Amino acid sequence: WARHWLDVARYADNKGYVFFEEKSFPWAWTYRDYVIDAHNVDKPFDRFIIEQLAADQLELGADRRALAALGFLTLGPRFSGNIHDILDDRIDVTTRGLMGLTVSCARCHDHKYDPIPTADYYSLYGVFRSAAEPTLPPTFEPAPDTAERHAFDAEMKKRLQALEAFVAKTRTGIINTARNRTAEYLAAVHAKRDQPSTENFMLLTDKGAINPYVIHRWENFLKDARRNNDPVWTVWHRFAALANNEFAAKAPEV
């Protein structure tokens, strides 16, 4: 019977197409075993559902094995890191799995045949968006006190320190480059002002090229500056509004 529920929960041990990212879910088996154990011990259905939606919000005490139930939400496709599609999948598995309704239609419009407005969809979206998924899952039970475990902990600590150092160095480099190439970023924002947003896509760039994510940050900053009538950036927006063939003539008026 557990296999039937795992079908409802679209159980898989891989993330689907994720480009260069690691494709497997190393801990997927913990959710599978949770479902099997829940059926074997005849866990009450209401508790079974609550744990899969919000085990991290329950008072579990010393026995934290129920945290594996959250695989119901997290063991879905990762869509190359597109957070909007990831959350849509979690809304879909929750509503189709528990209500038998394709609520995902309301991502774009009010449901045409059922009383499901877009407002309800994005209310649930907000709940899932506010949740943070840890890089490493919680430990369900105390680790064995063995030489192998101590060796693993020491190696993990060393690798995490190396990773943190790499991230800090890379972040500093990106910040410095972004500051030094401000003019290029502003020119890029102006050049793509009438183009569709690329926020939801993974973009590849050549080595040394300006960063698409930083361009997006500049776009958001300039939108806020315009909305708030920023005294400095209002001038930039006025210059940016001039057509190329009339810039020289009208720039002095700005």
132-136, 154-158, 226-230, 248-252 — which one is most confidently predicted on average? 154-158
Joined together, the tokens standing for residue 130 give 């506010």
Rounded Cα distance between 121 and 203, Å, is 28
Residue 39's pLDDT is what? 96
* Residues near 217 by beta carbon (within 8 Å), at least 6 away in sequence: none
Measured between alpha carbons, how far is 115 from 97 in angstroms, rounded to an integer? 18
Q: What is the SS3 assignment for 78?
A: coil
Residue pair 75/31 in contact (Cβ under 8 Å)? The answer is yes
Residue 23, by phi and psi: left (phi above 0), alpha (psi -120 to 50) or beta? alpha
Q: How far apart (Å, rounded) are the C-alpha atoms in residues 79 and 94?
A: 18
Kindly list the domain boundaries of the chain, sorted by start residue: 2-142, 148-253
Closest CA to 56 of 80, 74, 38, 37: 74
The DSSP symbol for 132 reads -
pLDDT (tens digit per residue) in 46-91: 999 999 999 999 998 888 899 999 999 999 999 888 899 999 999 9
Checking if the pLDDT of 242 tops 90, the result is: no
Give alpha helix (H) positions in the chain: 2-8, 28-40, 45-54, 71-74, 83-99, 118-129, 147-180, 182-191, 212-227, 233-240, 247-250
104, 88 Cβ separation under 8 angstroms: yes
Confidence label for 203 from pLDDT (cuts 50, 70 and 90)? low
Note the pTM of the prediction, 2 decimals. 0.69
